[in-house]
Chain A
Amino acid sequence: MHIKYESFVREPLVDGDKTYHQVSEDIIGPIERKPGRMWYVGFFFSLLLLGYGIFSVSWAVYWGLGTWGVNRTVGWGWDITNFVWWIGIGHAGTLISAILLLFRQGWRTGVNRAAEAMTIFAVMCAGQFPIFHMGRVWDGFWVLPLPNTRGTLWPNFDSPLLWDVFAISTYFTVSLLFWYTGLIPDFTLIRDRAKTKTRKMLYGLASFGWTGTAKSWQRMEALALVLAGLSTPLVLSVHTIVSFDFATSVIPGWHTTIFPPYFVAGAVFSGFAMVNTLLVITRRILHLEEYITIGHLEAMNKVIVLTGSIVGVAYLTELFISWYSQSWGEMAAFQWRIMGPYWWSYWAMMTCNVVSPQLFWFKKLRRNVPFTFVMSIVVNIGMWFERFVIIVTSLYRDWIPSSWTYYSPTWPEVGFYLGTFGLFFTCYFLFAKYFPVVAVHEIKFILKTSGDNYKRGMQKIEDQSTEDFLHVVHTHHEADHHEEAAHH
C-alpha cells in the first residue's frame, strides 16, 4: 500500500476539486470546441507577419544579401543576433522537461508540454537565420557531409560553425521525439473521446494506436527518463557550441572563456521569460488557471531572478577581466560598449537583464500575474540587446580605424525577424487549438499527491504525531509482507 502524502509546505499543483475525468474535460475540452474570436484574430495576425517575413526573405534571396545592412566590418548583424536569441529561448523548454524531470520537480507537469512546444518552434525560427545568412541558400546542403563531385570536399569538422549544424539539428530532433512520445497518450485520450469521424481518424493516426498497456507505460517511463538524461547535457552543449562561434575567434569581446556558462544562463533566463509570456496568456484564454497556477509562475520567476543574477555576474566579470588583461584591444572594446555610439544598447541590456529582474526578490511581485507578464517581455528585450551588444559592438570598430563603421538594419532584415515571430505564433496558435497544452497523463499521475482536494484529505495524517504516522506506515508494510508470504 502506497500512502500518497506530500508535505503541506508544498502548495498544491492542481487547484480545485479535480477528478481524473475532470482533468480530461478541462484540458481536452477546448480542443473539441470552436476557438474563440481572439484565436482567429491572433492566428490571422501571425499569418500576416509570416507572410511579410517570407516576402522579406525572398527579397534578400533574390537581390542578394546586399539588401541587408551588414557590411565588411559588421558581417554579423540582426541575423545572427536573432539566431542566438531564438535558440536561447528554446532552452527553457528542455530545462523544464528534462532537467526538472531528473530533479523530480512535480511542478514541471503543468508547464512542460507548452514549454517543449515553445522549444521546438523557437528552434525552427532560429534555424532560418544561419540558413538564409548563407546568401546562396540553394547551396545550403554543402554544410552536410555528403559525398559530392567537388573532389569529395567535406565540411570542416574542426569549425564551431559546423558543430552548430550538428548541435541544432540534433537538438531539434531529440526535442521533437521527447515531446511527441509524451503527446501519444494524450492523443489517445482525444481519439477515445472523439465524437466526429474526422477527429477520430486524425487523432487515431496521431496516437499511433496506443492503448496504454502496463508494459507500454513501463517502457514510456524508461524512455522519458533516458531522453531526459540525454537532453540535459544536450541542451547545455547547444548553447555552449553557439558561444564557441564567438569564443573560438580572436575578436576582442568575443575571445573569452566565460562564454559557455554565460550563454547557457542567458538562454535559460530568456527562455523562462518567454514561457511566462506565453503561459500567462494561454492559461487565461483556455481557462487553465487551476493547472498553471500562480505557484507555477512564481517558480519560473525564481529561475528568472537566479539566472538574471548569473548573467549580471558574467557582465561584471567580463568588464573586470578586460581591465585585468591590460590588453588595449580588450579594454577599448568594453569602453566603447559602455560609452561608444552603441551605449544605448549596452544600457538597455544592463537595465532589462540585471537591474529589473532583481524586483523578483519580492514574493508579492513574483506572484503578481500582470507584473510577471510585463517583466517577461522586459527580459526578452534585454536578452535580445545582449546578443546585439555581443555581436555588433565587438565588430563595428575593428583593428583598422579606417574601416570603422556604424551598422543599422534595413527593412528586409527587420522583416525577416518579424517573419520568425509570425512563424512562431502561427505554430503556437495551431498548437493551442489542436494539441493538449497541458500534459493530461502527467497531471493525472501527480493528481492524488499534489491535487488541492486530495491534499486536504491528508489533513488527518498532517495532524498525527510522527510516532503515530510511522506506526501506521510500519503496519502497512507488515501487512504487505504477510500477504506476499501467503501468496508464495
Chain B
Amino acid sequence: MAIKKFAVAAYDDEEVLFPAVKSVRRKGYKIHDVYTPFAVHGLDEAMGLKGTDLHIAGFIYGLCGTSTAVGFISWIFTSDWPINYGGKPHFALPAWIPITFELTVLFAAVGMTMTFCYLNQIMPGVKKHVFHPRQSDDLFVMAIEIGKHGNEKEVADFLKTTGAKEVNIQVAEAGWWYGRWDKKEPYELAAG
C-alpha cells in the first residue's frame, strides 16, 4: 500500500499514444503504466518492457503433468496393485498415452492460468485504482509517477503537448488491495 501522486494523460488513438510514449521516455519521466482497452501490439516494446516468460512456466507445468501421470500409473500397475487385464503386460505404456497427454495439458493450462493471475496480481476481490473510467472502453491512459521532488505542473504541461485529450493530476493507491468495487476508498473520498 502506497499512495502516490500521478500525472495522467488520456489519448483517444493508439497512433497518438505511441509517439507520446516515446517522447515521455525520452524526456526521462517514469511511466507508472499504460492502460488500454485491448491488446495494443508493440506497446510493450515501445515502453521498454521485456517479453514474458509465461510460456516457459507452462512448459515446466506440462512436464510435471507428464511425469505425474507416468509415475503414478506405473507405480500403481507394476508395484502397488498389479492386475492382470486379459494377459496384457503390467507396464503397458502405449495404453497410458491418452491419460498422460491429458494430464500434461491439464497441468500446463491450470498452472499457467494461476501463474498468470499471480503475476498480474488479479483475483476475485482484488481492487486497483482506475485512472479513467473509459480506459477499458475507448481511451488509452498513461500514468506518470511524480516523485517527491517532481514538478507536477511541468509534467502535466508536457503531456498536453503530446496530443492527450485529457490531462490531470491524481493521488492514488499504486498497488492493489482487497475491496468492493461499489465502495469508494478513503483516499478517493478525500480527493472528492
Hey, which bits of chain A sit against chain B, CB under 8 A? 2, 19-21, 24, 145, 151-154, 156-158, 160, 162-163, 166-167, 170, 173-174, 177-178, 181, 184-185, 188-189, 191-193, 197-198, 200-201, 203-223, 225-227, 230, 233-234, 237, 241, 244, 441-442, 444-445, 483, 487
Smallest CB separation, B25 vs chain A (Å): 8
Stretch at the interface among B105-113, B148-156, B161-169: B105-113
Kindly report which residue of chain A lies nearest to residue B103, judged by CB atoms. Answer: A166
Docked complex Cα distance between A123 and B179 (Å): 34
| Residue numbers in B under 8 Å from A178 (CB-CB) | 109
Shortest Cβ distance from residue B138 to the other chain A in the assembled complex, whole angstroms: 4
Q: How far is the CA of A209 from the CA of B47 in the complex (A)?
A: 23
* Contacting residue for B123 out of A167, A209, A213, A445, CB 8 A: A209
Q: Which of A21, A166, A170, A215 contacts B138 (CB 8 A)?
A: A21
Q: In the docked arrangement, what's the CA distance between A174 and B137, Å? A: 28
On whether the beta carbons of A192 and B136 are closer than 8 Å, the reply is yes
Cβ of B76 and Cβ of A157 under 8 Å apart?
A: yes
A158 touches B92 (CB 8 A): yes
Residues of A within 8 A of B85 (CB): 156, 158
Question: Closest 10 A-B residue pairs measured CB to CB?
Answer: A204-B181, A209-B126, A20-B138, A208-B122, A441-B38, A163-B98, A158-B95, A201-B182, A217-B39, A21-B138
Q: Known pairs A212-B35, A218-B52; list 6 more (Cβ under 8 Å).
A: A2-B41, A24-B138, A162-B99, A211-B135, A212-B136, A215-B52
* Docked pose: A189 CA to B76 CA in angstroms: 49
Asked if B122 and A170 make an inter-chain contact with CB atoms under 8 angstroms apart, the answer reads no
Q: How far is the CA of A291 from the CA of B156 in the complex (A)?
A: 39
Residue from the set B52, B72, B80, B129 with the largest chain A CB neighbour count within 10 Å: B52
Assembly CA distance A366 to B163 (angstroms): 46
Complex interface: chain A residues within 8 A of B99 (CB): 157, 162-163, 166
B-side interface residues, number (CB < 8 Å): 69
Query: Are A158's CB and B88's CB within 8 A?
Result: yes
A157 near B109: Cβ-Cβ < 8 Å? no
CA–CA, A197 and B136, complex, Å: 19
| A46 to B37 CA separation, bound complex (whole angstroms) | 35
CB distance from B44 to the nearest CB of A (A): 5
B136 CB, nearest partner CB in chain A, Å:
4
Scoring B103, B108, B138 by chain A CB atoms within 10 A of each residue's CB, the highest score goes to B138
Specify which chain A residues have a CB less than 8 angstroms from the CB of B76 in the assembled complex: 145, 154, 157
* B83 beta carbon closer than 8 Å to chain A: yes
Partner pick for A173 among B83, B110, B125, CB 8 A cutoff? B110
Is B180 part of the contact surface with A, judged by Cβ < 8 Å? yes
What is the chain B residue whose CB lies nearest that of A224?
Answer: B39
Central interface residue in A189, A197, A211, by most chain B CB within 10 Å:
A211
Question: What's the nearest-Cβ distance from chain B to residue A168, in Å?
Answer: 9
How far in angstroms is the closest Cβ of chain A from B89?
Answer: 10
Q: Contacts A181-B116, A201-B181, A215-B44 given: A170-B102 contact, CB under 8 Å?
A: yes
- B109/A442 in contact, CB under 8 A: no
30 contacts between A and B (CB under 8 A): A19-B138, A145-B72, A145-B76, A156-B85, A157-B95, A158-B95, A170-B106, A181-B116, A184-B122, A189-B137, A191-B136, A192-B133, A201-B182, A205-B124, A206-B124, A212-B135, A212-B136, A213-B34, A213-B120, A214-B44, A214-B47, A214-B49, A225-B55, A227-B113, A230-B105, A230-B109, A237-B101, A441-B37, A445-B38, A487-B22
Contact A222 B95 (CB under 8 A): no
Q: What chain B residues lie within 8 Å of A174 (beta carbons)? A: 105-106, 109
Interchain CB contact under 8 A, A220 and B39: yes
A208-B38 contact, Cβ under 8 Å, with A21-B137, A170-B105? no
In whole Å, how far is A56's beta carbon from the nearest beta carbon of chain B? 31
Q: Specify which chain A residues have a CB less than 8 angstroms from the CB of B124 in the assembled complex.
A: 205-206, 208
Nearest neighbor of A445 in chain B, beta-carbon distance: B38
B43 x A214 contact (CB < 8 A): yes
Does B36 sit at the interface, judged by CB under 8 A?
yes
Using Cβ atoms and an 8 Å threshold, which residues of chain A touch B51? Answer: 218
Contact among B72, B83, B103 with A170 in the assembled complex (CB-CB below 8 Å): B103
Bound-state CA distance A212–B138 (Å) is 12
A222 with B55: CB separation less than 8 A: yes
Instruction: Give chain B residues whose Cβ lies under 8 Å from the Cβ of A201.
Output: 180-182
Q: State how many angstroms separate the Cβ of B99 from the closest Cβ of chain A.
A: 5
A148 to B34, CA, bound (A): 53
B40 an interface residue at 8 Å Cβ cutoff?
yes
Contacts of B58 in A (CB 8 A): 226, 230
For A204, give its contact among B44, B47, B109, B180 (CB under 8 Å).
B180
> Inside 8 A of A192's CB, which chain B residues have their CB?
130, 133-137
Q: B96 contacts the other chain (Cβ, under 8 Å)?
A: yes
Complex Cα–Cα for A17 and B145 (A): 37
B73 surroundings in chain A (CB, below 8 A) = 157
Q: Does B33 sit within 8 A of A, measured CB to CB?
A: yes
Name A223's contact: one of B44, B81, B116, B137 (CB within 8 Å).
B116
Q: Is the CB of B135 within 8 A of A444?
A: no
B77: Cβ under 8 A from any A Cβ: yes
The smallest beta-carbon distance between B179 and chain A, in angstroms, is 9
**Contact residues in B for A225 (Cβ distance below 8 Å):** 55
Across the interface, B128 reaches (CB within 8 A) one of A2, A209, A217, namely A209
If A157-B77, A445-B38 touch, whether A205 touches B181 (CB-CB below 8 Å) is yes
Minimum CB–CB distance from B125 to chain A (whole Å) comes to 7
Q: Separation in Å of the B112 CB from the closest CB of chain A?
A: 6
Q: Does B117 contact A (CB under 8 A)?
A: yes
Closest residue on chain B to residue A193 by CB atoms: B137
Chain A's closest residue to B142 (CB) is A214
Q: Is B119 an interface residue (CB 8 A)?
A: yes
User: In the assembly, what is the distance between CA of A158 and CA of B135, in Å?
Assistant: 53
Determine which of B106, B120, B181 lies in contact with A216 in the assembled complex, contact meaning CB atoms within 8 Å: B120
B176 within 8 A of A: yes
Residues B112 and A188 in contact, CB atoms below 8 Å apart: no
Q: Is the CB of A212 within 8 A of B36?
A: yes
When each residue 4-33 of chain B gets 1 if its CB lies under 8 Å from chain A and 0 otherwise, what string results? Answer: 000000000000000000100010000001
